[in-house]
Amino acid sequence: DLLREAANYTANDSLKKFLELRADAFGTDDYYASDFAWMDLDAPVEVTIGPYETYEDELFGYKAAFEA
C-alpha cells in the first residue's frame, strides 16, 4: 500500500509506473514487468526495492535476496 501511495505523490510517469508495478509484484511474486519498468526508469532518484541479489544462493544462484 505504501508503494501505491508513493506513486500518487510523484509527477514522474516512469517512477509512478515502476512503483505501481512493483507493488503488484510484491503481491503476485511476478517481477517481470516491474523489472522492465525499473530498467526504463527515468527519474531523479533510483528506487531499488525487491529481490535482486542472487549471490546469496551459493549453490545454484536461483534464490534472490531482497534489498531496499
For the segment 10-34, what is each residue's pLDDT rounded down to a tens digit? 999 999 999 999 999 999 999 999 9
- Calculate the dihedral angle through the C-alpha atoms of 5, 7, 10, 15, rounding to the nearest 10 degrees: 160
Four-CA torsion 46, 3, 10, 65, nearest 10 degrees:
0
pLDDT of residue 25: 97
pTM: 0.83
Adjacent-strand bridge partners of 51: 66
